[in-house]
Amino acid sequence: MFGWREEFEYLECARCGCLQIATIPADLAKYYPSDAYYSYKPPKKKRYPNWLLRLRHERTRYFLGEFSIAGAALGLMSKRSEHFDWFRRRVSLASRIVDIGCGAGGLLLRLQRDGFRSLLGADPFIQADIDYGNGLRILKRGVEELEGQYDFVMLHHSFEHMPDSAGMLQLLARKVAPGGTLLLRIPVSDCYARRKYGLHWIAWDAPRHLYLHTRKSMALLAANVGMEISDTVYDSSAQQFSGSELYIRGVPYAEHGKYRPGPGNRADAFSPQEWDGFQKQAAELNRKREGDYACFYLRAR
């Protein structure tokens, strides 16, 4: 990410293909600097009039499968946020939702504006608890310190940062209410991009990614805690190509934004045609279940 050129050794499981860092650095916090690591930057605060929020709530109900004429009209006229794809009609506005490893809570703020009423965030690396008002809090604590159960427990690219996948999944399973869902969005190592780019594959992200799971390793983990994978959806992006190509050039992730097509970027940035090709490749890989990011939905057996 920062171009420090440190080296880290990973092990590959012969049974399931999972990649695991051989030695976890003693000071992991060094690799999450608050002034540079994106998820801990305070999100922009936006204020909307109550009438507009009520319309957004109607649109949310439509996206969640509750039909209304007003909601349908608004839904057809506006861009659908990707979090509605993650929920996949598994929740309602009253569902108890917790986002673990949420950083400063930008996603939860968007969900609050969309009308979700029972939201909580938890991240042990934030500086202190955050209270955004109207019931939305982000707690400085780990999963083991969370109380209660939730209808939808979600981890968006935080599970791969946790030192004990098996132990953590056991804890997470206990936080899922009966009939609830656990969503793990993670990079997966049994993918085309890893085979193509090898050590330049961007999702290694050493040493922050302590585990890089496969479909098989996730199925084994789930079975060991009494859960099963009810669905797997691939959501990889153009970054698996653009980021890996830039790593081949020796460009650290912190500078990748300068290479996106557009005015003001570097002369050797990707062309619009190259970027369009990356996006089309990613969509095709997702369709073939070969992308390097996947959403795993787990439920109790």
Q: Grade residue 144 by pLDDT with cuts at 50, 70 and 90.
A: very high
pLDDT digits (tens, 9 = 90+) for 233-278: 999 999 999 999 999 999 999 999 999 998 888 989 999 999 999 9
3-state DSSP of the chain: CCCCCCCCCEEECCCCCCEEECCCCCCHHHHCCCCCCHHHCCCCCCCCCHHHHHHHHHHHHHHCCCCCHHHHHHHHHCCCCCHHHHHCCCCCCCCEEEEECCCCCHHHHHHHHCCCCEEEEECCCCCCCEEEECCEEEECCCHHHCCCCEEEEEEECCHHHCCCHHHHHHHHHHHEEEEEEEEEEEEECCCHHHHHHHHHCHHHCCCCCCEEECHHHHHHHHHHCCEEEEEEEECCCCHHHHHHHHHHCCCCHHHHHHHCCCCCCCCCCCCHHHHHHHHHHHHHHHHCCCCCEEEEEEEEC
Q: Grade residue 20 by pLDDT with cuts at 50, 70 and 90.
A: very high
Q: Is the pLDDT of residue 107 over 70?
A: yes
* Mean pLDDT computed over 96-106: 94
Q: Which of 186, 172, 134 lies closest to 295, judged by CA?
A: 186
The pLDDT, as a whole number, for residue 168 is: 96
**Strand partners for 231:** 297
Q: Is the pLDDT of residue 136 over 80?
A: yes
Q: Is the pLDDT of residue 223 over 70?
A: yes
Q: Is the pLDDT of residue 284 over 70?
A: yes
Is the separation of the CB atoms in 181 and 298 below 8 Å?
yes
Lowest mean pLDDT among 27-31, 42-46, 128-132, 190-194: 42-46
Q: What percent of the chain has pLDDT over 70?
A: 96
**Residue with the two structure tokens 């707690």:** 139
Q: Is the pLDDT of residue 41 over 70?
A: no
More confident: 189 or 38 = 189
pLDDT digits (tens, 9 = 90+) for 192-206: 999 999 999 999 999
* Mean pLDDT computed over 208-229: 97
Q: Grade residue 127 by pLDDT with cuts at 50, 70 and 90.
A: confident
* Mean pLDDT computed over 94-109: 94
The predicted model scores a pTM of 0.90
Q: Which of 59, 51, 104, 66 lies closest to 83, judged by CA?
A: 59
* Mean pLDDT computed over 64-80: 79
The pLDDT, as a whole number, for residue 212 is: 98
Phi-psi region of 5 (alpha: psi -120 to 50; beta: other; left: phi over 0): left
Q: Which of 213, 220, 214, 230 lies closest to 301, judged by CA?
A: 230
